[in-house]
Amino acid sequence: MAKLRWLGHAAWHIEVDGKSVLIDPFITNNPAAPVKLDELGKVDFVIVTHEHFDHLGDAFEICKRNDALFVALYELKVRAEQDGVKRTMGANIGGTFTADGLRLTFVPAVHTGNPSGVVIHGSDATIYHAGDTALFGDMRLIGQLYRPDVALLPIGSLFTMGPQEAAVAASLVKPKVVIPMHYNTFDAIRQDPKQFERLVRAKAKGVKVVVLNPGESFEYARKGARKG
Ligand code: NI
Ligand code: MN
């Protein structure tokens, strides 16, 4: 069973294989964040897709408080070290590797600021967090190679894919479940997730859309899924 809790924007708290993983933990100054930093509980890993403030967020602080492992592309790992984070692992876009028992792959993203997406290969669920990205054709390869069960896709437009592009992304990745993110945090990225849901239904047959509010969780195990 993997549990994915949306913390607003691109921030996720994921429990997978007994590990507590934060991705892009933009908590402080995130108007959509349902929690404060000291309410996160135990954190084992902090994974950051790129350096933009709305993704790097509180990553260094959370790592320091929890002695958590910071995992990101190499340049960002160096920045974490310079900031005083003790446990870091630098990787790059390419193959699958293991960090403290967690299997991960960094995948391309089309964006500025040294971007990536990340795939978490859990025993119960494979999760693809697309980071900030435009639509690109090689998302099909991410789908073919890693067969994500759950894809977390940005739909805010302006800085990332909008609902139309993200619906096509869902058709390329072909996850079991897609959850929209990176919208409604600020007025500039206001979107209707129901519109995204309609577009996915039309363009990506067989892909289920789960819409969460910040603070809500989705649980997935390969046999079935439920919103909790
Ligand atoms: Ni960005
Ligand atoms: Mn962003």
Distance 160 CA to ligand 2 centre (A): 7
Q: List the shell of residues around ion ligand 1, using CB closer than 5 Å.
A: 52, 132
Is residue 227 over pLDDT 90?
no
Closest among 95, 144, 87, 89 to 118, alpha carbons compared:
95
Residues 138-144, mean pLDDT to the nearest whole number? 98
On whether the CB atoms of residues 126 and 155 are closer than 8 A, the answer is no
The model's confidence at residue 220, banded by pLDDT at 50, 70 and 90, is: very high
Distance 223 CA to ligand 2 centre (A): 32
Amino acid at position 206, single letter? G
Is residue 156 over pLDDT 90?
yes
d(CA 106, CA 207): 23
Degrees to nearest 5, angle at CA 207 with 202 and 209: 90
How confident is the model at residue 226, as a pLDDT?
Answer: 52
Distance 62 CA to ligand 2 centre (A): 19
On whether the CB atoms of residues 227 and 209 are closer than 8 A, the answer is no
Provide the whole-model pTM. Answer: 0.97
Distance 141 CA to ligand 2 centre (A): 23
Is residue 228 over pLDDT 60?
no
Ligand lying nearest the CA atom of residue 156: 2
Ligand lying nearest the CA atom of residue 109: 1
The model's confidence at residue 26, banded by pLDDT at 50, 70 and 90, is: very high
Is residue 223 over pLDDT 80?
no
Is residue 113 over pLDDT 80?
yes
